[in-house]
Chain A
Amino acid sequence: MNNQGIVKLFNIILKWSLVMANQHSPISPSFLKCSQCSLSKLCLPVGLDAQDMMSLEKIIEASSPYKENETVYQSEDNFERIFAVKSGMFKTVVMDANGNEHIVGFHLPGELFGLDAIYPQKYITSAISLGTSSVCGINYNDLEGLATKLPSLQRQLFSLMSKEVHTSQSMAVEHAADQKLAGFIITLSARYKQRGYSETRINLMMPRRDIANHLNMAAETVSRLFKRFQKEGLLEIKRTDLNIINMEGLRVLAGCSPSDEP
């Protein structure tokens, strides 16, 4: 092998080792097919035909799994991509002027995050994995371009954005602690149900301090309320396993009218 050959080989090895070392480098799109993803009925591809789906697949990058507590992006990072949760759960966090973190939302499979960066063109929140989780990243410029060509993609994108606005508005209303926690549980339950999971058995994989932070109460209050709900026969909790026994009771407590879809 001549010198040039060795250099070439070295470069190939170097390139590969870099790829291997970089945990969250994009994986080739062939690994990822929206058409085969069980979440396609909730995520961006809603209403797309096979042809359009293929165009969408071309602009999607799946990343290798994140371990617990790893950062997808940090606030102030330049905006490039929005993300769809593929598995597990992510939280998005903002920091206030005093340096206190506030958890804006928990994101389940099939849900998007990073949408709030479209206007300022940089991420407002930081996104962090809870437990082992994975995402699909979608370059926003490409998505915007594609949406102008595919009306059903545009419709779904607007619809998902509207849902985000709706959620943050309902979060802004002040409620009593027990009402907030009950509301949080039934919302989670409804979101899991939409995703084809059990609506009564939920894995609360987020630490209690995160639930507390998100609902703006003390961690001790979260546990005290869970214990009270258990005593009242509304639910059962074992480790992180939440079992809803009386959904109607929880809905009443949360202040939903029986027909309300959270």
Chain B
Amino acid sequence: MKSLAVTADLAPLLNKYDVYGPRYTSYPTALQFDESFTEEDYCRHAQSSNQLPVPKPLSIYIHIPFCKSLCYYCGCNKIITSKQQMATNYLDYLYQEIEMHGKYYADDRLLQQIHFGGGTPTFLKPQQLREVMEVLAQSFHLGLPDSLEISIEVDPRTVTSDEMTELVKMGFNRISIGVQDFDPDVQKAINRVQSKTQVEDVIRSARDNKVDSVSIDIIYGLPKQTRASFSNTLDDIIRIKPDRIALYNYAHMPQRIPAQRLIHATDIPDTAEKLDIFTDSIRRLTEAGYIYIGMDHFALPTDSLAIALKTGGLQRNFQGYSTHAECDVIGVGVSAISRINDSFSQNVTEISKYKAAIIKDDLPIKRGVNLTTDDRIRADLIQQIMCDGIIDYSDFGEGHDIFFHRYFSEELGSLDALADDGLVDINDYGFKVTPKGRIFLRNIAMKFDAYLTQTKLQLNEQPRYSKTL
């Protein structure tokens, strides 16, 4: 990939394309999930998925909703508590849910990916995480150790070096560390105070024990952040040199996310400053040798994500980008999302409802969606835009039994405007996302979102989605 030239002409584009839009970790997006979707639907999709000529491998997402303290920016499903007992009790139900799912899948469907997210997965003690792994091993057939990806989101404030060592020895081979920002003022403003030493100690012990990959999450647009302060944070990140960096955009939506009301709107950098921070970050990270993968993700050229971008093996899932062959994803725990066969489904978000369902031996499904043929075609196209960024009309059409030009005639028409801005290159045979266009992947994908064109949500009306940049 050509190096990303961050020039002055980027600023007007960033302004122009800074609209509300989905992140496309799923298509259709969660807004299209419906409460008429039941366990019966899930079961039917699980059975169909078992009956493909070559069933997909399995991936499991485990949601641990507990946090010891509230980070003001966070919009995740979480419960603030210091009571360990709550987690112990939650796990009893979680294990039953895992067992229920396990019964649905054929024996030769190996579990290839295990991901712990939150909340704060490291709210659990290593001993508890070990127990979860044991329950998984009883309910599913695990893939071979060299192909099994076990990842966890780590809050450095909740793990000691010794505990990190234990986790890696237990088999966790990918860790992602929530840093957000190293600046003390910013940390205070978001109520997440953690020292550089804490972060570096955790990473050192993971690396000493030969963890496969270290990823760091940082956020731009946080309160008290300035171009200068974030530049210092970037210095530290580049020095630590994680394999991957996720640079998220802080979306201030206090009307939807109550915790964000604790952030003073006046502390938030204005749009111009925020875009400067974003362009600075892209420039600094690419200069430091990172490859821009797309959306919020950067990776070292040696990392599997960067290699997959080059060779065309990139995938997108609920956690962002991934290199794994497409899996059916089972989501367990409150609010977790599953993607099985041609369906998405999401669990209830309240712990009380979650437990009530499990007690009745029901899967705690709240809502979901059965994909139509059109959904499937668009989901594949959006995935291809977000990942390889190259669409060949005849290849894609043949693979989906459509005439691309006819099927997407309106959408292709609307793509011309993006081509004029240099985000895509279009010719008679297909189109390609330009290096500059990778910053605007969501905007390109939105052109092919049938639900957006139906409801015209992309007009800056209601912020049901976060901003695209």
Contacts and interface: CB of A to CB of B under 8 A. Distances in A.
Q: Could you say which of B51, B53, B107 has the most chain A C-beta atoms within 10 Å of its C-beta?
A: B53
B106 A240 contact: no
B144 interface: no
A153 interface: no
A207 B55 contact: no
Interface of B: 48, 50-55, 106-108, 399
A237 B52 CA distance: 10
Interface string A198-240: 0000001001110100000001101110110010000001111
A241 interface: yes
Nearest to A230: B54
Interface of A: 204, 207-209, 211, 219-220, 222-224, 226-227, 230, 237-242
B108 A220 contact: yes
A220 B107 contact: yes
Contacts, number: 33
Nearest to A198: B398
Q: Could you say which of A223, A224, A240, A242 has the most chain B C-beta atoms within 10 Å of its C-beta?
A: A223
16 contacts: A204-B53, A208-B51, A208-B53, A219-B106, A220-B106, A220-B107, A220-B108, A223-B55, A223-B108, A224-B108, A226-B53, A226-B54, A237-B53, A239-B52, A240-B52, A241-B399
Contact of A211 (B50, B53, B108, B399): B53
A88 to B, nearest CB: 15
Contacts of A208: 50-53, 55
Given A220-B107, A223-B108, A207 B51 contact: yes
Given A227-B54, A240-B53, A242-B53, 4 more contacts: A208-B53, A220-B108, A223-B108, A237-B54
Contacts of A242: 53
B51 A209 contact: yes
Contacts of B108: 219-220, 223-224
Q: Nearest 10 CB-CB pairs, A to B? A: A207-B51, A220-B108, A226-B54, A223-B54, A226-B53, A204-B53, A208-B51, A237-B54, A208-B53, A237-B53
Nearest to A227: B54
B343 to A, nearest CB: 14
Contacts of A222: 53
A241 B50 CA distance: 15
A68 B54 CA distance: 20
Nearest to A218: B108
Contacts of B106: 219-220
A208 B54 CA distance: 8
Contacts of B52: 208, 239-240
Contacts of A223: 53-55, 108
B196 to A, nearest CB: 47
B86 to A, nearest CB: 41
A20 B106 CA distance: 39
A162 to B, nearest CB: 31
A239 B108 CA distance: 16
B399 to A, nearest CB: 7
Contacts of A204: 53
B399 A238 contact: yes
Nearest to A209: B51
Q: Could you say which of B50, B51, B55 has the most chain A C-beta atoms within 10 Å of its C-beta?
A: B51
Q: Could you say which of A220, A222, A238, A239 has the most chain B C-beta atoms within 10 Å of its C-beta?
A: A239
Contacts of B51: 207-209
A176 B413 CA distance: 54
A220 B108 CA distance: 6
Nearest to A222: B53
A220 B53 CA distance: 9
Contacts of B107: 220
A195 B91 CA distance: 56
A222 B55 CA distance: 11
A242 B53 CA distance: 9
Nearest to B400: A241
A226 B51 CA distance: 13
Contacts of A207: 48, 51
Q: Could you say which of A204, A219, A227 has the most chain B C-beta atoms within 10 Å of its C-beta?
A: A219
Contacts of A238: 399
